[in-house]
Structure formats: structure tokens, C-alpha cells
A and B are shown apart, each in its own frame.
Chain A
Amino acid sequence: MTATADLAIRTEALAKVFRRQRAVDGIDLAVPRGSVFGFLGPNGSGKTTTIRMLLGLSSATSGRIDLLGQPMPAARHTVLPRVGALVEGPASYPYLSGRANLHRFDAADPTSDPRSRKTRVDAALDRVGLTHAADKKAHAYSLGMKQRLGLANALLAPRDLLVLDEPTNGLDPQGTREVRNLIRSLADDGTTVFVSSHLLAEIEQVCTHAAVMRTGRLVAQGALDDLRAQGGRTITVRTPDVGHAGTVLIGLGLTPRRDAGADTLVADLPAETEPEAVTAALVHADVRVRGITVGGGTLEDLFVALTGEGFDVAA
């Protein structure tokens, strides 16, 4: 159990009801300080609604939120200056240049120092690689450039917490990699990064912790290694001696299924059973083994198992 003081974000039974729909249905988030926390879930699972409530943009129907150890939205004037955010896509004044946009957003922060504004704006532009386009009007920006501008806005001041909602949206693979590197370097500075995505693969490499949302509920949460362990491994054996092999696997305490073809057996592999022990047992019993593969144990598998595969938007 992590103590409250060590949590950058903590919610208790946080819920948001829109008319008849429970968009967020009583979630208990616990985001440790210093973590890179992946907030996962399919489109429409309630991630953005949660983030809006965390930042005080919309009010919670019920429940409690602590951001950096202080209650939200009551303490927003002291908390939010320490929080950088990219919410629901970037936004900008199309008729202002990228640089002028950042100047405006920085002026909106009552704690920001006007004397260092120019330096900080330039540093933020540089950090996201937008310096060359800083004086172009924002309406001429590509989606990727707008995304970078949004990230620059989140980085205008040193932050204790960054809340990034789908930061890789609209970025090409190169840009996605840059965002990952950016997150990594921010985390190295001690910033807690809370990053949401519907694409696990894009953020799995940088996260230390993750939570998975599904239709407004939190279905998994914890350190990445713990979650991986929950994912479960499977072992797949290809052999002409299917019946014989099945007996051997049962002898090892596994429950083989023949759902992947006539010459293939698949079984869940418990953590305590090593794959090489299975191989040895099969060979010992003179089973003609054509192939053995160990699958699963990835976050992807867990993610798919928890949220369902495919393009269905959660109802």
C-alpha cells in the first residue's frame, strides 16, 4: 500500500454521471509520485472524462480527488500551476503564432513570472522541436505540430505532474518516438507523468505503472511487472502425437486445448511451470515435437483480455 503523501494522483470512488450514462463509475486511482503512469482503455471508456475532473474542468458527480496531496478542485489555485496538461487534444488560437499562443497561456498562470516568460517559452518550443515554426500562425500548423505546441504549453514551467491525454495522437512514428523520449527525460527529472492512450504499444515502453479502464470502471491497476504477471502465459505445442502429448501435459498439471489446429495443443502456463520443463517431459515421453512456443505474458494480452479486441466503441 502506498501512503497518500507518496501519491501524485489519488481518487476515491470518483464518478461522473451524464444524464443517464455513468461515464466514470467509481474509480480509485493511485498514481505514485515519480512514476510514468499509463492510463489505458479503448475510446469512450472514460479516460478523458476522468482527466477533465482531475484538472477541475468538470465537476465530479461524487467521489474525491487529491492532486499532489491537495484536494481538487478546492486547491486548484495552488495545485494547477505545478501541473502541466494536454487535455483532449491541443488547442490554439489559429490567428496567433505558436510563440504568441504560448505567451498567452503562460500569462494565464497567475504564478508564472513575466520576466522569465520569453526564455521559458523559447525553451519549451525548443524542447518539442518547434523553434523553426514558432512564428508561423497556428492555423498553418499540421496536426503533429499542433500536438507539439500543446506539449510545449504543458512544459512552460517546471512541473511536478504532467497529465498528457493521448499525446501521440496525430504524430508520425518519428514524432511518437520523440514523445516517448520526452516522457522518459521528464521522468528522469523526477516529474510524475500521467499519460493516457488507447494504444498500449505506444506507451508500454515508457510506463512504470498502468491502469486499465473499461466502460467507466478501472479493471486493473498497478506496477507494470505485476500487471504483466496477471496477463498469463500460454504454451503452444505442435506435434503429430497429439493424444500422447496431451497426456504428458495433463501429467504436468496443465489443461491442454486443441483450439489452434489438428496438430497443435495450447495450454495456460502457470508462473511456477518453466517452459523447458515441459519440453524435457515431452521429449522424455518420446513425443515428436515439431515446435514449442511460449506466448502471452505481455501487457498487450492483458489489455486485450480486459478491454476486448476490435474497434467497438465502448457503450
Chain B
Amino acid sequence: MSQPETTAPQPDAASEATAHRADATATATAAQPDARTGRRGRTFALLGSELALVFRRRRTWAMLGALALVPVLIAIAVRLTTDGDDGGPAFLGDITNNGLFVAFTALTVSIPLFLPLTVGVVSGDTVAGEASHGTIRYLLVAPTGRLRFILVKYVGAVAFCLAATLLVVLVGALVGALLFPIGPVTLLSGTQVDGWSYAGRAVLLALYVTLSMLGLAAIGLFASTLTTVPVGAMATTVVLAGVSQVLDQLPQLDWLHPFLFSHLWLGFGDLLRDPIAFDSFGSNALLQLGYVAVFGALAYGRFATKDVLS
């Protein structure tokens, strides 16, 4: 079969190509200043859209609701069984003396399982969820650059972590104030601070726990670039959170412990000293940023060259 319009006449081809490339460059440079000033503001458009996407979803609210139940259940349970001094998680016994401890207890209880579970769901869904819906095609041809896409999805997952921890603290404070006496709080270092100062520390705690989840969220993001089945990425992430915590319990592996992303998850006692010690905050930040750098780079490396076939 003949192909009338396919092959270019050879002598022309070279000059044609050069001319057309020069033309393309001219168009590109002409469009650049406008596009660049616009792009900065409009990256936030996609970010805003991503946050709306995360927080408009019923699943997100179901998970936040479940997390908010933790402080409520703890407070009610302690209130009903007044003698709360026989063991249990840290701070549990202190709740009866002071309702402000509810928030701390609730976060402590959520950290090993509930929180990683929800973070695993959200971060595992980031890329794989868009791929399974096919919406990733339309975002990429819009066009969203692949780096921008990955960054925005990660920020969306981090926003969820922040919302979750702040919610637990807030609900804990409210329920604690309702069911127990509120008063000056005795810190681990023995000094007393008033309720407001304590509230400030509770917010710091929420930030600390959010920080703790950054590494896990980055792992979830990477897992999410490996598959188009979101559940697979979610399960992987949650399992890894468990594995990391189990390894952290094995004394034989103590050389490994400082490198486990869950190693400093419960290391927020410093925030209850006076003056506040930020050492653990700093070392946790270093640890988490290391994970973010490694798994962020892996996620981008995987995604940048990936054929989007879904």
C-alpha cells in the first residue's frame, strides 16, 4: 500500500527541521515569562484542589472520626472505672487528676496502630488511587509535571497526618475538660504549668507526631508508585509500620534501632519537661527527613520514567 504523505523529501528535511526547531524555541521563550509568573500561583491551585480532594472524601472523614473516638473512649472508660492507676499506657493514671492528660494519652495509644493505619491508607492511595481511577492520565496531560504531581500528592498525605493529630489533641482536650477537673499540670520535671501553657505543648505534641509520620508517608508514596492497586500499596505501608516497630523491640538488633523510622515515635516525653527540651524533636526530624529524602527520591525516580498505562 502506498503512503502518499509520509516521507519528507530528503534535501528539505534538514533545513526544515532546523527552521522548525528555531521556531519552537522562539515560541517557548516568548511564552516563558508569562507562564512562569503564572505557574507559581497556579501550583497552589492544584494543591488546593488536592486538599479539597482529600478532605471531601467520605473515607477521610471516617478515618478521622475513628481517630477522634480514641480520646472519647479513653476518657469515658477512665471516668467509669475511677481507679485508673493499675498500669495501662503512659499518662493514663494521671487523667483522673487532670483532664488535660486525655489528649496525651489518646495520641500515645494511637501511635502504634491506628495512626499508621490511616496514614498508610492515605499515602498508599496517593499515586495508585489516581492510577486505578485513570484520572492520572488527565492530570498528566493537563499537563501536571510529574514532580509537581508527586509533591502535591505527598503534601496532601501530610495534611491528613496533621489534621489527624490535631483532631485527636483537640477532641482529647474537649472531652477531658468535660469529664475531669482541669487545673495546673505537673510536668515530668516536677514544675507546674497552667492549662494554656499545657495546650501549647499539646499542639507541639501534635506537630511531633505529624513529623513522626513523614517517613511512613514517604514510604507509602513510594509503594504507591509501584502499583495501580491502591490496597496493595496501603497494606505494604501498614505492614512496614508494624515490622519497623517489631524490629525496634528486639534487643539483638539495637544497632539498627536508631535507623528505624518508628524508633522515635514515642519519644515525645521531652515536650513535658520544663523548659521544653527539643533534642528528640531535632533527632526525629533528622531521621524522618532522611526517610523522606530516600523514599521521595525513589518515588520520583520510579514515577518520572514510568509509562502511564492505566
Contacts and interface: CB of A to CB of B under 8 A. Distances in A.
Contacts of A30: 5-6
Given A28-B6, A55-B141, 10 more contacts: A1-B5, A4-B16, A30-B5, A77-B35, A78-B35, A90-B134, A91-B138, A106-B142, A107-B42, A107-B49
A108 B138 contact: yes
B252 to A, nearest CB: 43
A144 interface: no
B133 A91 contact: yes
B308 interface: yes
Contact of B20 (A4, A90, A110): A4
Contacts of A104: 49, 52-53, 135
B8 A95 contact: no
B39 interface: yes
B138 A93 contact: no
B293 interface: no
A75 interface: yes
Contacts of A112: 42, 45
B236 interface: no
Nearest to A214: B1
A93 B135 contact: yes
A106 B46 CA distance: 9
A28 B7 contact: yes
Given A59-B305, A95-B56, A221 B5 contact: yes
B143 interface: yes
B141 A96 contact: no
Contact of B38 (A1, A5, A56, A110): A110
Interface stretch (A66-74, A167-175, A259-267, A283-291): A66-74
A80 B143 contact: yes
A153 interface: yes
* Chain A interface extent, by class: 35 or more
A177 B21 CA distance: 40
Given A57-B140, A96-B56, A112-B42, A78 B28 contact: yes
Interface string A20-53: 0000000010100000000000000000000010
A85 B16 CA distance: 28
A55 B42 CA distance: 22
A158 B145 CA distance: 21
A197 B45 CA distance: 35
Contacts of B137: 57, 87-88, 91
Nearest to B9: A1
B243 interface: no
B110 interface: no
A306 interface: yes
A1 B31 CA distance: 30
B5 A2 contact: yes
Contact of A103 (B16, B17, B49, B136): B49
B25 to A, nearest CB: 9
A108 B142 contact: yes
Contacts of A90: 134
B221 to A, nearest CB: 18
Contact of A110 (B3, B24, B39): B39
A28 B5 CA distance: 9
A66 B20 contact: yes
Contacts of A75: 24, 28
A132 to B, nearest CB: 22
A219 B42 contact: no
A226 B16 contact: no
Contacts of B24: 69-71, 75
B48 A107 contact: yes
A63 B134 CA distance: 26
A123 interface: no
Contact of A95 (B4, B9, B57, B144): B57
B143 A89 contact: no
Contacts of A94: 133
Nearest to B129: A93
B232 to A, nearest CB: 19
Pairs A-B, 7 closest by C-beta atoms: A91-B134, A58-B307, A108-B142, A80-B143, A28-B6, A107-B49, A109-B142
Given A58-B309, A87-B137, A69 B143 contact: no
A142 interface: no
B46 A108 contact: yes
Contacts of A78: 27-28, 31, 35
A176 interface: no
B23 interface: yes
B43 interface: yes
Nearest to A306: B1
B308 to A, nearest CB: 4
A305 to B, nearest CB: 9
Interface in B18-77: 20-21, 23-24, 27-28, 31, 35, 38-39, 42-43, 45-46, 48-49, 52-53, 56-58
